[in-house]
Structure 1
Amino acid sequence: MKRRGAPVMAILLAGSLVAACGESEDLESTLTIETSGEGKGTTDPGPGTYTHRSGSWITVTATPAPGYNFLGWSGADTGLDNPARFTLGADTKPTALFGAAFSPTTYQNPVLPGDHPDMNIYREGDDFYLVGSNFHMMPAFEILHSTDLVHWERVTRVVHSTAAALDEQTGPGQGTWGGYIVKAGDVYRVYYAIKATQYFSSAPSLSGPWSEPKKVDIFPYTPPGSDTAYERGTGSDNSVFIDPESGKTFMIIKNGLCKWDADHPNDFGINLVTEIDPETGMLLPESTIDLSFINWDQETGGCGDFSNADWSKWAEGPTMAKRGDWYYYFVSTHTACGGQLHAWASKKLVGSTPEDWHWLGYVLTGEEPYAGVQHTTAPFELEDGTWWAFAHSYDCTKVGTQDWKNGEWMGLGREGLLLSMTWDEQEVDGETIPVPKYTTEVRDLPAPNLPTSGVPFLLPVNDEFSSDKIDPTWTTFGRSEDKYSVTDRPGWLRIEPGAGETTHVVQKDTLHSSSMVVKLQFKPKAEGDAAGVRVGNGYWQDEQVLAAPTWMTSGEGFMLPAIMDVSVARVMEDKTDKIRFSFRSRSVKPLSEGASAYTELAEPVVVGGSVPAPEGATVWLKLVRTGHKATGWFSVDRLDWTQVGPEIDVSALDQFYAMAHTWIGNQAGMFATNRSAEFDLFTYRDGFTRIPAAEANQQSGTSVASSKSAGPVLGGLENGDWALYGSVDLGSGGVHAKAIQLKASSAGQGGTVEVWIDPLAGGSAIGTCNIPGTGEWEAWEHTTCDVKPTAGTHEVYLKVTGGAGELMRLASLRFLPSN
């Protein structure tokens, strides 16, 4: 990791001394330089007392020791300047303050917030890569990279929606499923499923350029007990396994459910292990090892009538690993809250009969909030002997004990969790077998012993569209990639829908609290013209809701398929140019008796309000979501904001089960309807809007406490504890942060909050706040402190220092902009 420290040389202008005009050379003042702790750092000139003529000035540079950072000066009005210039009139006593640099040793889940389903991991030396399902978000097949397993960055997207293989496969729930990386010689191949059949693209590097999708040849499969060969495709949630014994590379194939049954000959599942030809990338059918015996019988395995299925018997998302003498085969149950992972073990890589394999039971069952942990990657070992895996789970907060009751934040989709593993030797079928055990805790987990990546925590990007290539985080629904551009007007994102169409440019929604801001240039001309900022679910046109599978709503607690979104937009409404804030929901009508498909849509339900738009084509729009409450705002200068309409409860969108809105989680971003709109800025987390302190993305030592007046707050803050808030926009275009406001309480002596930006990438503190004792935990006060003028997007760390015990609790933070 590169660390940008303070300069090591002092800057002594004119020999450190400059006589001020009119000053008597006989007047003298002293400069006493001190540091805040032995061994933490030094200064140049060094600590000590110096005598100089009054009115002269001296420049002093602070240099932190290894492992420390410069925090600022006390005893003199110089803030965080380094080098700092001290003008001598009265005696001056600056103290250079140093604090321990950040070196996180813990992490909290999710390390990949938002929707990251069906992951597989590939390692090459010190580099790790993750891929998974993208479904109908295009371009598809996202590749992520990390060196520390906690901080991830996007490398590229592989599959463009115009690929011929995606013809008729870009609608809701279609697109690319699963994914994994294979290297054969100097060629990389990424495999993924389109309509339950495997394809691959090739490239000389994982950053591309990638070839068009190539279909993997399908081979016939004859189930045990059958005389008929069936064509079952090549699977949809597959993975890859390299056998350390033979060196061969195998595709781990899954498609369908249940064992073959003569009474239901076309409704069964396959679980196969088939070698991949390294030269062609195709499968070698004659090598197939059949593990389909792990599927349960028709009456218990989920085939036929889904309403009577036992979803705990499913065997999807297979992965395979080898440790010591044992091969391990992992499969997952249903993908909702309550989902589990079960495993099998064998000393031989063979199949066909269960006698060769031992069922180890359900080896992973999550707890709230992540009560559906499964679809793990193959476990992998680091050099220090620790074992790890990634898994996905919905945020099942308050899911309760009722079957299929939706969790409070299921709308975010299946989030990415990093799990540590141990191995527990158990007696199974008369054999002593090491059985995998996974961590299920969320906070303060020991981090992998790997060098920190130095890249930001992965969240939606704040974008000024200043590049000539759009950031790979941006996606759209279906085949709309040719309807937006950052090159048509440099520095702007232009969205150009057709007449009667809406085009969305979006990212994964990831937070329980966000404050999205866009700078929009747009004038509506005709009724229905609109452009703005939104968060919505996986359908993007009303009529597409009718195509939702009916089995998704057959169980108690399911919600009817619906399109939902909350937005702030400039619109033409009743022949008037307006700013509108609204929450819109439209669902299907329940099935009529005997019907096999939805046929009618219910009338849309819309709540919200609108106000006349300001003069001029340029306007700032802001959509604020805190908990399940949303508000809409507009401004002409980004400094003074006007609220539009009332606060709206959007909990229905936040908890909407992603299977019922085409597998993906909620998406956040911009849209335009009917006519072209241009955006100069998108911000997902505005630093000038209140950020709930309890919504930290990473933290160390803290807890979430409940306040009667402030709601969930960040508590348990003792000396050395910290919290990270990623992707915070602190301004652009002449607007920057000049101060921070903290809402805090302390039943004790209070303490100090150090405000850092980007410390893992060599950043430093930009200010400190002294939080006083307020007498009790419910006595909340605002403390405002200056910070070094800062603009751009940053990771903001709040680090607490002080005495013993719990020093304070924080309800919120907000930066104040320059005027």
Structure 2
Amino acid sequence: MNFKSIISRCCLTFFCCAYWYQGAMAQLNKVEEIRPVPYPTDVAEQVRTYVNPVLAGDHPDPTLLKVGDDFYMCGSSFHFVPNLPVLHSKDLLHWELVSRVVPADWNELKSGAPGAGIWQGAITYFYGTYRIYFSNSAGGGQYMSSAAKPSGPWSAPEKVKTTPDTGPIGYDNSIFVDDDGTPYMIIKASQTTNRIQQIDHSGHLTGKLINLDWINRYKKYSWAEGPVMCKREGWYYYFMAGDVTGGQYILRSRSLVADSAKWENLGNIFAFSKDPDNRFRSVNHMSSPFQLSDGTWWCIAQSYDAPKGDDWSGQGRQDLIFQVQWTADGRPFVPYPSDQPLTRPDLKNNGLAWRLPRSDEFSGSNLSLYWHFLNKNAARRYSIAENKGWLRLKPDTGRTHILQKEAGHYYSLVTRVKLNAGAPGQAAGIYLASGNESVNVRLCTGFNDGKKTFNFAMGGQLFSAENTIGESVWLKLERQAHELTGYYSADGRQWRQIGKAINAAELDKAQPNFNSWVGTSMGLFAEGKDADFDLFVYKDGYSELPLAGANNYWGVTLSQLNGATLNNDAGGWVMLGGVDIGRGANKTTGISLTAAALSSGSVEIWIDDLNKDGRRIAVIPVKPTGSLDKWITLTAKIPAIAGQHDVYVKIKGAKDALAIRSLSFK
């Protein structure tokens, strides 16, 4: 990452991509493409696919560590505090947040301004210790923290010591551990600086410097940033990203030497997408590839979500899992970045949910790790102790907030807020904001024109309604693709819309300076006066849940208009991650489907999985409606359920003869 001349970088990327296109296409013809494979007839009873992104929303510059059967991931957190969240997974698809390395009050942070903060957190393990290396903003030097386990506690950051010939040690570094256990820092200090140096047992740099500055001396690879390394069959592979707009280039050598003649250029690991409607066409900043016990190789990489004519870049760089193939002569290659169902890694999940925002009832003694703030000031202005079971936001003269990373194109956020607003400038409610808050959405209770009001606004789009309920109210913000709708309620069940829907395309598209390098955040805010929040709900199950918002699926065709249409004789299924189904004692006991059918079929509803690790909660018969354009509503009773779950909709029937558009719980 670097703020210098975005236009120049884009131009450089274009010429680099053009230069390597012919070579990439030649490589494509040498390997078999990774495509969705036909499943046996029991496919509808199992989850054998995944759909990218596996980490939706803002997860920039991913670095990945495999230790035994566990995977750990970190990356750039920029100005989001507390910094450097660490994620854990068993299967590369389901992730949980286990720690945050750098506290919000770390007083050595060079800058907490938007786009600054902490860059490229690289998680690693060597000499019996977990470490994370990171840059203290651009030009702020390299720091590290250590821990006995990734869940922490992590040591206070210390500046990495260098040798006299090391020079600056950059902003986009990673760590490579050789087969003999020797660790090296892969150094990226400027556009034309690429180096390698050994790390000692204390975690600091020592030994001979391997100078690879020749790699990008003439800016052939744009910025040649985010370098990572792996080793396979005696070859050292050096991977580098062009810049945030794409390109992922490869060099290899039989030895770690500075001599450019000893390194072979292998071109671009990612082919250009063949599908113009593919959501992810600028994949790069990949992690080091690694091998599983079945012999397959995998990596994680980032991309903006920007299908042709439908820009979602504002949500940030999302993370995708890829299987890496190798040619007979040892060239790594990923044929194309697909957003279709792919065969999952041969790994078993250990019961984790799909990584999405988490609902919160603020009932614990500590704030959940999933929350972040956009500055240190906001991180000091909350309490979960002053009104037990509630979150209190405590603004000073301005606005404060508590946020999670926005994920997905379809969801409904719900909160219950108490605010006794009595003057202009006092407000509290639901908040969506770009990285530097230059574009934001506010759905709130407040005070205007001498009375309490509900307000729903983004930029010049503003709608209001008088608040005749009082100081304790419910608010709901519903997203259906780029369309946002605001509601208020006295009881959280019966809702009234505030004005008209707001078009959020301005928030969702790419912002100046790439949205300050981060994606949109969503959560709660207060301004002008303290406000209490009883709960925060992500993907409210009592609201409409379009199947077009699936996080995983197989055997169906998805569309924004018709939801999921069965396209496979073996059956098909759709997974909606992170659905909030009832809260506390208020359990849900019913479900409603919108369906259309040409012939009879059925729909099964499962939670958490499609096998013994999950639970089937409903079987709903579907009779012919006469047309796939004729929709009916079907209802069924279910066992009393509460909590946040991944919901599976399994469709049984004739191919191309049954469609499910949406569901909701009752």
TM-score by length of 2: 0.89
In 2, distance between residues paired with 1:711 and 1:318? 43
Instruction: Give, in angstroms, the shift of residue 764 of structure 1.
Output: 1.2
Instruction: Give, in angstroms, the shift of residue 211 of structure 1.
Output: 1.8
Is the counterpart of residue 330 in structure 1 residue 239 in structure 2? yes
User: Is the 8 Å Cα contact of residues 428 and 525 (structure 2) preserved in structure 1?
Assistant: yes
Is the counterpart of residue 444 in structure 1 residue 444 in structure 2? no
Instruction: Give, in angstroms, the shift of residue 219 of structure 1.
Output: 5.0
Deviation sequence 1:667-694 (CA, Å, 0-9, x none): 0100011221111110110111111111
Instruction: Give, in angstroms, the shift of residue 763 of structure 1.
Output: 3.4
Instruction: Tell which has more relative contact order, 1 or 2 (C-alpha 8 A, sep 6+).
Output: 2
Instruction: Give, in angstroms, the shift of residue 526 of structure 1.
Output: 2.1
User: Is the 8 Å Cα contact of residues 554 and 572 (structure 2) preserved in structure 1?
Assistant: yes
Instruction: Give, in angstroms, the shift of residue 215 of structure 1.
Output: 0.9
In 2, distance between residues paired with 1:188 and 1:147? 18
In 2, distance between residues paired with 1:799 and 1:615? 41
Pick the aligned partner of 1:623 from 477, 500, 509: 477
- Tell me what 2:171 maps to: 236
- Tell me what 2:213 maps to: 292
User: Is the 8 Å Cα contact of residues 563 and 662 (structure 2) preserved in structure 1?
Assistant: no
Instruction: Give, in angstroms, the shift of residue 486 of structure 1.
Output: 1.9
In 2, distance between residues paired with 1:714 and 1:535? 32
In 2, distance between residues paired with 1:717 and 1:335? 38
Deviation sequence 1:368-388 (CA, Å, 0-9, x none): 210110000000000110000
Pick the aligned partner of 1:529 from 426, 443, 457: 426
Instruction: Give, in angstroms, the shift of residue 136 of structure 1.
Output: 0.6
- Tell me what 1:363 maps to: 269
In 2, distance between residues paired with 1:366 and 1:616? 56
Describe the shift of the 1:770–1:712 C-alpha distance in structure 2 as closer, same or farther (beyond 3 A). Answer: closer
Describe the shift of the 1:330–1:742 C-alpha distance in structure 2 as closer, same or farther (beyond 3 A). Answer: same
Pick the aligned partner of 2:316 from 413, 416, 423: 413
In 1, distance between residues paired with 2:568 and 2:531? 46
- Tell me what 1:752 maps to: 602
- Tell me what 1:681 maps to: 535
In 1, distance between residues paired with 2:512 and 2:568? 36
In 1, distance between residues paired with 2:496 and 2:577? 26
Q: Which moved more, 1:774-783 or 1:120-129?
A: 774-783
RMSD over aligned CA atoms reads 2.0
- Tell me what 1:344 maps to: 251
User: Is the 8 Å Cα contact of residues 411 and 658 (structure 1) preserved in structure 2?
Assistant: no
Instruction: Give, in angstroms, the shift of residue 783 of structure 1.
Output: 1.6
In 2, distance between residues paired with 1:359 and 1:135? 32
User: Is the 8 Å Cα contact of residues 562 and 659 (structure 2) preserved in structure 1?
Assistant: no
Deviation sequence 1:157-208 (CA, Å, 0-9, x none): 1111211221x41110111111122334443221111123211112222111
- Tell me what 1:372 maps to: 282
Instruction: Give, in angstroms, the shift of residue 487 of structure 1.
Output: 2.4
- Tell me what 2:25 maps to: none
In 2, distance between residues paired with 1:684 and 1:705? 22
Instruction: Give, in angstroms, the shift of residue 488 of structure 1.
Output: 2.5
Describe the shift of the 1:696–1:580 C-alpha distance in structure 2 as closer, same or farther (beyond 3 A). Answer: same
- Tell me what 2:464 maps to: 610
User: Is the 8 Å Cα contact of residues 767 and 787 (structure 1) preserved in structure 2?
Assistant: yes
User: Is the 8 Å Cα contact of residues 426 and 529 (structure 2) preserved in structure 1?
Assistant: yes
Is the counterpart of residue 271 in structure 1 residue 194 in structure 2? yes
- Tell me what 2:205 maps to: 283
User: Is the 8 Å Cα contact of residues 608 and 646 (structure 1) preserved in structure 2?
Assistant: no
- Tell me what 1:213 maps to: 157
- Tell me what 1:582 maps to: 457
Pick the aligned partner of 1:108 from 41, 51, 60: 51
- Report the 3-state secondary structure (helix = DSSP H, G, I; strand = E; otherwise coil) of the residue aligned with 2:267: strand
Is the counterpart of residue 160 in structure 1 residue 103 in structure 2? yes
User: Is the 8 Å Cα contact of residues 296 and 314 (structure 1) preserved in structure 2?
Assistant: no
Partner AA of 1:200 in structure 2: M
- Report the 3-state secondary structure (helix = DSSP H, G, I; strand = E; otherwise coil) of the residue aligned with 2:205: coil
In 2, distance between residues paired with 1:616 and 1:631? 22
In 2, distance between residues paired with 1:701 and 1:437? 24
- Tell me what 1:122 maps to: 65
User: Is the 8 Å Cα contact of residues 628 and 651 (structure 1) preserved in structure 2?
Assistant: yes
Instruction: Give, in angstroms, the shift of residue 712 of structure 1.
Output: 5.6
Tell me, which stretches of 5 or more residues in structure 2 are unaligned? 1-41
Partner AA of 2:548 in structure 1: A
User: Is the 8 Å Cα contact of residues 187 and 204 (structure 1) preserved in structure 2?
Assistant: yes
- Tell me what 1:54 maps to: none
- Tell me what 1:569 maps to: 444
User: Is the 8 Å Cα contact of residues 341 and 365 (structure 1) preserved in structure 2?
Assistant: no
- Tell me what 1:72 maps to: none
Segments ≥4 residues shifted beyond 6 Å: none
Describe the shift of the 1:207–1:733 C-alpha distance in structure 2 as closer, same or farther (beyond 3 A). Answer: closer
In 1, distance between residues paired with 2:475 and 2:427? 13
- Tell me what 1:194 maps to: 136
Instruction: Give, in angstroms, the shift of residue 654 of structure 1.
Output: 1.0
Instruction: Give, in angstroms, the shift of residue 344 of structure 1.
Output: 0.5
Instruction: Give, in angstroms, the shift of residue 513 of structure 1.
Output: 1.1
Is the counterpart of residue 204 in structure 1 residue 136 in structure 2? no
Describe the shift of the 1:636–1:719 C-alpha distance in structure 2 as closer, same or farther (beyond 3 A). Answer: farther
User: Is the 8 Å Cα contact of residues 628 and 657 (structure 2) preserved in structure 1?
Assistant: no
Instruction: Give, in angstroms, the shift of residue 641 of structure 1.
Output: 0.5
In 1, distance between residues paired with 2:130 and 2:449? 55
In 1, distance between residues paired with 2:388 and 2:79? 28
- Tell me what 1:809 maps to: 659
Pick the aligned partner of 2:486 from 632, 644, 650: 632
Partner AA of 2:603 in structure 1: V
- Tell me what 1:34 maps to: none
- Report the 3-state secondary structure (helix = DSSP H, G, I; strand = E; otherwise coil) of the residue aligned with 2:214: helix
Partner AA of 1:390 in structure 2: I
Mapping of 1:483-522 within 5 angstroms? 483-499=381-397, 501-522=398-419
In 1, distance between residues paired with 2:82 and 2:565? 38
In 1, distance between residues paired with 2:385 and 2:154? 22
TM-score by length of 1: 0.73
- Report the 3-state secondary structure (helix = DSSP H, G, I; strand = E; otherwise coil) of the residue aligned with 2:305: coil
In 2, distance between residues paired with 1:714 and 1:575? 52
Pick the aligned partner of 2:295 from 385, 397, 401: 385
User: Is the 8 Å Cα contact of residues 717 and 800 (structure 1) preserved in structure 2?
Assistant: no
Pick the aligned partner of 2:507 from 653, 669, 673: 653
User: Is the 8 Å Cα contact of residues 50 and 553 (structure 2) preserved in structure 1?
Assistant: yes
Partner AA of 2:651 in structure 1: V
Instruction: Give, in angstroms, the shift of residue 793 of structure 1.
Output: 1.5
- Report the 3-state secondary structure (helix = DSSP H, G, I; strand = E; otherwise coil) of the residue aligned with 2:314: helix
User: Is the 8 Å Cα contact of residues 392 and 417 (structure 1) preserved in structure 2?
Assistant: yes
In 2, distance between residues paired with 1:578 and 1:438? 54
User: Is the 8 Å Cα contact of residues 477 and 487 (structure 2) preserved in structure 1?
Assistant: yes
Partner AA of 1:375 in structure 2: H
Pick the aligned partner of 1:321 from 204, 213, 230: 230
Instruction: Give, in angstroms, the shift of residue 100 of structure 1.
Output: 9.3
Pick the aligned partner of 2:613 from 762, 765, 774: 762
Instruction: Give, in angstroms, the shift of residue 435 of structure 1.
Output: 3.6
Describe the shift of the 1:178–1:761 C-alpha distance in structure 2 as closer, same or farther (beyond 3 A). Answer: farther
Describe the shift of the 1:144–1:102 C-alpha distance in structure 2 as closer, same or farther (beyond 3 A). Answer: farther
Describe the shift of the 1:366–1:731 C-alpha distance in structure 2 as closer, same or farther (beyond 3 A). Answer: farther
In 1, distance between residues paired with 2:336 and 2:420? 53
User: Is the 8 Å Cα contact of residues 199 and 214 (structure 1) preserved in structure 2?
Assistant: yes
- Tell me what 2:183 maps to: 249
Matched residue count: 617
Pick the aligned partner of 2:522 from 660, 665, 668: 668
- Tell me what 1:30 maps to: none
User: Is the 8 Å Cα contact of residues 429 and 475 (structure 2) preserved in structure 1?
Assistant: yes
Instruction: Give, in angstroms, the shift of residue 784 of structure 1.
Output: 1.9
In 2, distance between residues paired with 1:418 and 1:607? 38
In 2, distance between residues paired with 1:645 and 1:220? 65
- Tell me what 1:42 maps to: none
User: Is the 8 Å Cα contact of residues 134 and 175 (structure 1) preserved in structure 2?
Assistant: yes
- Tell me what 1:740 maps to: 591
In 2, distance between residues paired with 1:750 and 1:717? 15
